[in-house]
């Protein structure tokens, strides 16, 4: 039996106090809607329908960036969840199978939970949970194992509000039955909205079965405010850290490490304190990421060492055993196996061959104000400290650059490039210059009127 998803993502989210649609606020570096789509993707659905409203173009772009096959329909007026599903149903014309309704602001439902929801034998199956504080959640009214109806808090009696089994909003139903039930919805309620939840009572009135699958509260965490967004971030990070620890990754101070939704780290790797992973990072087994490093859009090879205080930007590839040390930034660059760049260096738009050593203070001057240019460094080369590599430029295998060199032309294999002004020593000039500066400072302090008597330090031609 096929599966289709309808993901509701039309709301503005007024409690967010934001111009950004609610489902585009980010957790772990990804919009909420991406988390929800990723959860639904575990069911391998044939069809994926996103219902957008506020900021529809931006919501559609975010959804399709994750899944090009997403179909987007528009809910021009937000008249309730039943109305939203009704907008999606024409896009499922001809589909035969089970439809799962998800929400763009409920990002953390586990694949196992969704699989259980789909496998349930009832005609309509709802995902429920028992929160620590039921608050204003809708209540699931049951009789034995059967679900009788769902009542919204604002429409519930005191007896119904005492029920602790709450509605997540997520449900599964056969496509044809869902279309039939939704077509009969009315807005005869306190909010004058078309509630999708009313299909349960409608199904029961026809003698059909309705059931409940339950899950832990943290899976159904909805995000409607900045405070809830912060709680969602904390929940994601706690779950992701625990998963890494279970997979054999050492986190020296787990509570200080922040992971992205797609971070992949191999076993026997070690992650130091205060490391931040942006989206698109893969770390191979046995690597070490030291404290206060930031990684985004990069790949770190097995046994490589990064940090402390290193930054790997998108497009970075580190080979096996490569070292990127303190205050080194790498962007759109490939560093081969065993490359070492241990101190105070910028490598952008570059390719560095295996076994090369990059001295402290090296910079690839990759930007001319308009265009980016590439630097290529061969194998087993030695780049002297404080070398400026003015791209485009190529350094050959086993070549060297002298410390302080400004390299503007290619360096052949095995050659030593020296590109700096000749050193000139002026006897006694340092002493005379410092004496002159001290005299000037003394006059400044003595000037009670606060007038600026400091002038430039002048040296006679015979002194220079």
Phi then psi for 5, rounded to 5 degrees?
Answer: -110, 140
My answer on whether omega of the bond before 348 falls inside 30° of 0, hence cis, is no
User: Please, which pLDDT band fits residue 458 given cuts at 50, 70 and 90?
Assistant: low
0.85 exceeded by pTM: yes
Range of the domain at 449: 426-464
Residues 369 and 404 in one domain: yes
Residues 36 and 138 in one domain: yes
Last residue of a domain, one of 220, 250, 265: 220
Last residue of a domain, one of 220, 240, 259: 220
Q: Residue 170 maps to which CATH number?
A: 3.90.550.10
Residues 124-179 pLDDT 10s: 999 999 999 998 899 999 999 899 999 988 889 999 999 999 999 999 999 999 99
Pairing outcome for strands 166-174 and 97-103: antiparallel
Residues 240 and 344 in one domain: yes
Residues 75 and 205 in one domain: yes
My answer on whether omega of the bond before 9 falls inside 30° of 0, hence cis, is no
Residues 256 and 371 in one domain: yes
Q: Residue 335 maps to which CATH number?
A: 2.160.10.10
Helix axes 198-205, 175-183, angle to 10 degrees: 100
Residues 305 and 167 in one domain: no
Residues 269 and 346 in one domain: yes
343 is catalytic: yes
Residues 213 and 139 in one domain: yes
Residues 203 and 277 in one domain: no
User: Please, which pLDDT band fits residue 58 given cuts at 50, 70 and 90?
Assistant: very high
Average the pLDDT over 175-204 and give the result: 93
| The pLDDT value given to residue 205 | 95
Domain count, the chain: 3
Q: Which of 120, 294, 343, 373 is catalytic?
A: 343
Residues 325 and 432 in one domain: no
Residues 368 and 389 in one domain: yes
Residues 117 and 261 in one domain: no
């Amino acid at each position: 039996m096929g599966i289709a998803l309808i993901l509701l993502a039309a709301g503005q989210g007024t409690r967010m106090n934001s111009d950004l649609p609610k489902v585009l606020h980010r957790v772990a570096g990804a919009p909420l809607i991406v988390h929800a789509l990723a959860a639904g993707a575990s069911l391998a659905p044939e069809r994926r329908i996103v219902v957008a409203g506020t900021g529809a173009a931006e919501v559609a772009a975010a959804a399709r960036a994750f899944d090009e096959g997403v179909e987007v329909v528009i809910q021009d007026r937000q008249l309730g969840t039943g109305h939203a599903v009704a907008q999606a149903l024409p896009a499922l014309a001809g589909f035969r199978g089970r439809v799962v309704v998800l929400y763009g602001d409920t990002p953390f439902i586990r694949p196992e939970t969704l699989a259980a929801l789909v496998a349930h034998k009832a005609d309509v199956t709802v995902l429920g949970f028992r929160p620590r504080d039921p608050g204003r959640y809708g209540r699931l009214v049951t009789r034995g194992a059967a679900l009788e109806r769902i009542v919204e808090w604002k429409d519930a009696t005191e007896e119904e509000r005492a029920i602790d089994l709450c509605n997540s909003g997520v449900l599964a139903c056969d496509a044809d039955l869902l279309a039939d039930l939704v077509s009969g919805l009315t807005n005869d309620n306190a909010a004058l909205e078309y509630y999708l939840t009313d299909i349960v009572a409608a199904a029961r009135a026809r003698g059909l079965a309705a059931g409940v699958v339950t899950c832990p509260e943290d899976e159904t965490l909805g995000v409607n405010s900045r405070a809830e967004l912060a709680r969602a971030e904390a929940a994601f990070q706690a779950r992701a850290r625990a998963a890494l620890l279970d997979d054999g990754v050492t986190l020296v101070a787990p509570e200080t490490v922040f992971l992205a939704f797609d971070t992949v780290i191999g076993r026997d790797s070690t992650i130091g304190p205060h490391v931040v992973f942006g989206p698109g990072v893969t770390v191979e087994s046995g690597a070490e990421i030291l404290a206060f490093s930031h990684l985004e859009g990069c790949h770190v090879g097995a046994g490589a060492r990064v940090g402390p205080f290193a930054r790997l930007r998108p497009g970075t590839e580190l080979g096996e055993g490569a070292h990127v040390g303190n205050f080194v930034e790498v962007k759109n660059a490939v560093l081969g196996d065993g490359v070492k760049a241990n101190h105070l260096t910028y490598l952008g738009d570059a390719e560095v061959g295996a076994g090369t050593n990059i001295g402290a203070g090296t910079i690839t001057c990759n930007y001319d104000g308009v265009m980016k240019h590439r630097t290529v460094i061969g194998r087993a080369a030695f780049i002297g400290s404080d070398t400026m590599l003015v791209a485009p430029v190529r350094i050959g295998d086993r070549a060297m650059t002298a410390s302080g060199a400004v390299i503007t032309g290619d360096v052949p294999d095995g050659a030593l490039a020296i590109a700096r002004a000749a050193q000139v020593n002026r006897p006694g000039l340092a002493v005379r210059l410092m004496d002159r500066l001290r005299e000037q400072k003394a006059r400044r302090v003595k000037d009670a009127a606060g007038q600026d008597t400091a002038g430039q330090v002048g040296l006679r031609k015979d002194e220079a």
